[in-house]
Amino acid sequence: MQPGEMKSADEVLYVGIDLGTSSSAIAASNGEKKWVESYVGWPKDFISAKVLGKSVLFGREALKNRLSLDLYRPLEKGVLKEGTAKDAEAVKELIHYLIKLVNPSEGQKINAVVGVPAESFKVNKLAIRSAVSGFTDSIMVVSEPFAVAYGLNMLNNAIVIDIGAGTVDFCIMHGTLPADEDQKTIINAGDYIDQQLNNFLTEKYPGSTFNMNMVKGFKESNGFVGNSSAPIKVEIPVAGKPTEHDITDEVKRACESILPAIIETVTEMIAKFDPEYQAKVRDNVILSGGGSQIRGIREYIEGRLKEYGSGKVTVATDPVFSGANGALALAKDMPKGYWDQVQ
Ligand SMILES: Nc1ncnc2c1ncn2[C@@H]1O[C@H](COP(=O)(O)OP(=O)(O)OP(=O)(O)O)[C@@H](O)[C@H]1O
Ligand SMILES: [Mg+2]
């Protein structure tokens, strides 16, 4: 590389940020990649501030110290809650923290593309933009499934289904920047599965003690739809004593609870597409997000699409970073006129 090139490459740090309900990730043009659970917490009072020794905590560390903190998960349900200044502040802190994690050098300009759940994209684009503007020189807010599609170079006749915590986001690609009508969001996703599983387990095992964190863990290690190969058994305390519980049916029912709405939405979106290209789109379905790791979900969706003639569903290889990687690719490629300049 020429010395001149080095200099211009270093003047700007391009970053792609995937702002998620449960976790947020950043990928930067200097090669750094980081992710954090989307929790932001401020010490409740001066005692907790003294104990914790920090003015704000993030991610797992915030969760661990939740009893001493005012804890926020600012994008719950995929939308920055309107009028809650603290949520906006939490988003701001989270983005600042993510940017610091990728080590920008002194004086380096930051151009950020931020992928957000499709619904917050429609509702809170401005709020998100202002939350980021303090730390960046140029910014563009895009919907998360579009960032994923861009990163995978699936720009034409394809549909991305991003199964996150707060929302399932859909984006159909037809060779242009997607418009609002190319995107759909449904609000039953990973968090909803956790709630369902919690309800089913409470009903079946009223004497056992577990919390949402454990329930989420059961789902993440064992989640499946369709036919299971083996029974799922986990240890849950009963009157303080670790006891084996069979949770196979409950896990299956909870994970399958999000499927009808996903199938309805994807088939509806494809049905509205140019009839000549509908088969192509059905053969170009990409699943991303943490929920794409539920066993059997790819096969299930593919099977249901095949009822319409054909279907091919693939899972994005890097569910944690596929949104951030795509946003970074966009940031690097974006022509000048597309950036919203930030003063
Ligand atoms: N192996 C797994 N099996 C099933 N679900 C999983 C697995 N790993 C993670 N998840 C679930 O995926 C969800 C998180 O996915 P992701 O990080 O894509 O969400 P997010 O981007 O934070 O949410 P959103 O896109 O809705 O804002 C959580 O509900 C989590 O429990
Ligand atoms: Mg997400």
Mean pLDDT to the nearest integer, 100-129: 81
Residue 279 falls within a domain, yes or no? no
Atom of ligand 1 nearest to the CA of 190: 29
Mean pLDDT to the nearest integer, 216-240: 93
User: Do 13 and 146 belong to one domain?
Assistant: yes
* Nearest-CA residue for atom 2 of ligand 1: 220
Mean pLDDT to the nearest integer, 147-171: 93
Contact between 51 and 67 (Cβ < 8 Å)? no
166 lines ligand 1 (CB under 6 A): yes
Summary count for the chain: helices (H), strands (E): 13, 16
pLDDT of residue 337: 77
Residues 119-147 have pLDDT tens digits of: 655 556 677 777 777 788 888 888 889 99
* Interacting residues of 66 by C-beta distance below 8 A, sequence separation 6+: 41
Residue type, 94: L
274 lines ligand 1 (CB under 6 A): no
Q: Domain boundary at 239, 256, 273, which? A: 256
Closest ligand (CA of 21):
1
pLDDT of residue 4: 41
Q: How many domains does the chain have?
A: 2
User: Do 16 and 111 belong to one domain?
Assistant: yes
CATH number at residue 196: 3.30.420.40
Lowest mean pLDDT among 56-60, 80-84, 176-180: 80-84
pLDDT of residue 342: 45
Q: Domain boundary at 256, 275, 295, which? A: 256
Residue 141 falls within a domain, yes or no? yes
Closest ligand (CA of 168):
1
* Nearest-CA residue for atom 9 of ligand 1: 290
The tokens for 162 are 């991003």
Lowest mean pLDDT among 120-129, 152-161, 269-278: 120-129
User: Do 224 and 328 belong to one domain?
Assistant: no
92 lines ligand 1 (CB under 6 A): no
User: Do 75 and 128 belong to one domain?
Assistant: yes
Residue 267 falls within a domain, yes or no? no
* Interacting residues of 104 by C-beta distance below 8 A, sequence separation 6+: 13, 28, 30, 110
220 lines ligand 1 (CB under 6 A): yes
Does the pLDDT value for residue 223 go beyond 90? yes
Does the pLDDT value for residue 175 go beyond 70? yes
115 lines ligand 1 (CB under 6 A): no
Residue 278 falls within a domain, yes or no? no
104 lines ligand 1 (CB under 6 A): no
Task: Tell me the percentage of the chain whose pLDDT exceeds 70.
Answer: 91
Mean pLDDT to the nearest integer, 72-87: 69
79 CA → ligand 2 middle, Å: 12
User: Do 116 and 64 belong to one domain?
Assistant: yes
Residue 222 falls within a domain, yes or no? yes
Closest ligand (CA of 169):
1
Residues 289-320 have pLDDT tens digits of: 999 999 999 999 999 999 999 999 999 988 88
- Structural domain that includes position 93: 3-151+321-341
The CA-atom distances, in angstroms, between 329 and each of 26, 222, 266, 338 are 12, 33, 26, 14
Averaged pLDDT of the chain = 89
73 lines ligand 1 (CB under 6 A): no
